[in-house]
Chain A
Amino acid sequence: MTTTPDLIETLVASATPVRRLRPPLVRAGLWLLFAAFLLGLIGIALGLRSDIFECVRQPRFVVAMLGALATGILAALASFRVSLPDGSRRWLLLPLPALALWVSTIGYGCLTDWISIGPQGVRSGEAVRCFATLLLTSVPLWIALLVMLRHAARLRPTEVSLMGGLAVAAFTSCALSLFHDLDASVMILIWNLGSAAALAAFSVVFGRPMFAWAAARLTPPQDRPASAP
């Protein structure tokens, strides 16, 4: 067994100069830039939905989009704040108002549409393309977040992954709304809320092992002491 003085010697011996993390606001901004870049790329590849100009005139669509965007931005900021050891946990509450707005718009839309359209609203042809967009958006965003927040592995993996998952889910939902004409109420419910809930749940369940994995792979070898307790 390693004694504490021995461990200190090992740590001192492996203490190389480190680059300090930039402020959380700047890092969150970088991730948001990456998200915007990714959405732009997918938009160029897939093209906007055909009825985008009609949608923009509907207040419900605009409010839902703004709600999702605000949720994504605030959740990203919260996850970068909470990932720091001395970041207050109150930051976890930051995206809640935007989330409430977003969820309530979708829920209200579904309710009214369900009454007018009925259960025939499910279409399967669009589902496959939706799934491709879902993966193309969420996987790179989630990996980028995992790499940028890997220092949270031993601190608050669950809280950070919950916020990260929420941010990724919100941006994915934006992508789905922009690039696919999901007018049928049930489809909107499944794709927007369903994918968001699934991503958030996935993040909470697998966040801890995934952060641990990322931290172990991405820590430089000279920084890794040989004897970890």
Chain B
Amino acid sequence: MYVTPVRHDLVGRRGITAEPETRSMSPSRQNPSTPPLTLVASSATGRNAGSDWSKLMARAQDGDREAYRELLERMTPYLRSLAGRCFRQPADVEDAVQDVLLTVHLVRHAYDPARPFGPWLAAIANRRIIDRLRRDTRRRTREVALSTDHETFADSATNLHKDAVDEAALGQAIERLPPDQRQTITMLKLNEMSLKEAAAASGRSIPALKVATHRAIKSLRRLLTPRGDPP
């Protein structure tokens, strides 16, 4: 949950729901439980953080890289909390955050240090997030995301997710074998013991183990072949 204390110092002179488009964005399309996008910050680090950000931005405009780095790093959690209300996947949230950071970089000359920084940043973030939501919605209407279940190809070897099913069936078939055959198969095939090791462990002769293996595989083939199909 992203709800954090409201930063009145960041809100500035505009009021808390900064822009008309903020209200029209309707994050309920994404997540019905999310509240409307309002200007809150994720890390309250002092009463005058808003004016701090404004000063940092003014220094960044003059080419102070350290101030710029500090500003970008401090605004990132705030942007992440804004984006987190509209996107569910962490990768989408990071993409949105990066989009906003890049836009702030490209339009940083448009910031007037005499005006509050909070509404300026919130407006940019809203614009970019709305743009991304619209683009995602458009994409969803004409594209279908493939999950692993959809990765079906003509070659059966590529359908790896069927292995789990086969493994379970094989395990059940082994359970239904006679005890000596089951023990032999378990030792030689599942535990990958050599004939000598298996003979020493079970106290049976090597030819007896070979015969038991042969019979076990024959039984398994019969058990695993669907009825009606030729073996």
Contact = CB atoms under 8 A, between A and B. Distances in A.
Contacts of A13: 65
A151 B102 CA distance: 12
B106 A4 contact: no
A20 B109 contact: yes
Interface residues of B, number: 40
Interface in B12-47: 14, 18-21
Contacts of A21: 109-110, 112
A49 B14 CA distance: 49
A103 B113 CA distance: 40
A8 B106 contact: no
Nearest to A87: B123
B95 A229 contact: yes
B72 A151 contact: no
Interface residues of A, number: 34
Interface string B198-210: 0000000000000
A17 B69 contact: no
A18 B108 contact: yes
Nearest to A153: B106
Interface in B85-102: 94-95, 97-99, 101-102
Interface string A82-105: 011110110000000000000000
Contact of A154 (B19, B69, B106, B113): B106
B103 interface: yes
A108 B127 CA distance: 41
A16 B64 CA distance: 8
B125 to A, nearest CB: 9
Contacts of B102: 7, 11, 225, 228-229
10 contacts: A2-B98, A8-B73, A12-B69, A14-B105, A18-B109, A86-B14, A86-B18, A86-B119, A86-B123, A155-B127
